[in-house]
Amino acid sequence: MKVTKAEIVISAVSKKQYPEDGLPEIALAGRSNVGKSSFINKLIQRKNLARTSSKPGKTQTLNFYRINDAFYFVDVPGYGYAKVSKKEREKWGQMMEEYFRFRETLRAVLLITDIRHEPTKDDVQMYDYLKYYEIPVVIIATKLDKIPKNKRDSFVKRTRTVLQADPQDVLIPFSAETGEGKEAAWSAIEKYLA
Ligand code: GDP
């Protein structure tokens, strides 16, 4: 997809603030700091529209990025950040529930994992959750540039195995650094926008 327009429309803390224009949405879920913002920025060719940071746990809002006035990327707050209080974690859970379970315009979720590591318990839980609610999932295994080429196949396989991923689910090895996987990611996304 050629992106000619990309704008952040709202950083929402509750469902009252979600956009109401009915455009389809592709959400991104993943551990804090896994590379969700970098993924968005790479796909839309902007250096810094989505806020990236090396400090995990920063984004506690649902960020809606409207792309080409055609659909939204929805960046969901990352999970698995140890230094949050129980109360904050509960608030996070409620936000997730409000969005993933009831959002009618949600078409698919990109589950972003770090290809260097085994998916965490939280990753597995997130995957199971999406499956349970029958939300289409595309797995994006990012930071591909950080592993040697001869490890790729085995790391992809490990990601699938640990997630117990449905063989029908697409997994795309990706790097925000080199742009590898970008075209594959766009084709996967476009299928859900058609
Ligand atoms: P978020 O919290 O999930 O939005 O993660 P960010 O996009 O802010 O990325 C967290 C850190 O990982 C930043 O320092 C990024 O530069 C780095 N990062 C993200 N994606 C990649 C990638 O594909 N390759 C490399 N080498 N670093 C990445």
pTM for this entry = 0.94
Q: What is the pLDDT of residue 53?
A: 53
Q: Whose CA is nearest to atom 25 of ligand 1?
A: 143
Q: Whose CA is nearest to atom 17 of ligand 1?
A: 35
Helix, strand counts (H, E) of the chain: 5, 7
CA of 94 to the centre of ligand 1 (A): 26
CA of 31 to the centre of ligand 1 (A): 11
CA of 145 to the centre of ligand 1 (A): 11
Q: What is the pLDDT of residue 85?
A: 79
Which atom of ligand 1 is found nearest the CA of 142? 23
What domains can you pick out in the chain, each with its CATH number? 6-193 (3.40.50.300)
CA gap 95, 119 in Å, rounded: 23
User: Residue 58 pLDDT more than 70?
Assistant: no
Q: Whose CA is nearest to atom 19 of ligand 1?
A: 35
Q: Whose CA is nearest to atom 2 of ligand 1?
A: 33
At residue 72, φ and ψ (nearest 5 deg) are -115, 140
Reduced 3-state DSSP string for 153-185 = HHHHHHHHHHHCCCCCCCEEECCCCCCCCHHHH
CA of 141 to the centre of ligand 1 (A): 12
CA of 88 to the centre of ligand 1 (A): 23
Instruction: Please report the beta strands in the chain, taking only residues with DSSP state E, as ranges in sequence order.
Output: 6-12, 25-30, 62-67, 71-75, 106-114, 137-142, 171-173
- Determine the average pLDDT of the residues in 90-103: 88
Give per-residue pLDDT as tens, 129-183. Answer: 999 999 999 999 999 999 999 999 999 999 999 999 999 999 999 999 999 999 9
Which atom of ligand 1 is found nearest the CA of 41? 7
CA gap 146, 142 in Å, rounded: 9
What residue type is assigned to position 162 of the chain? V
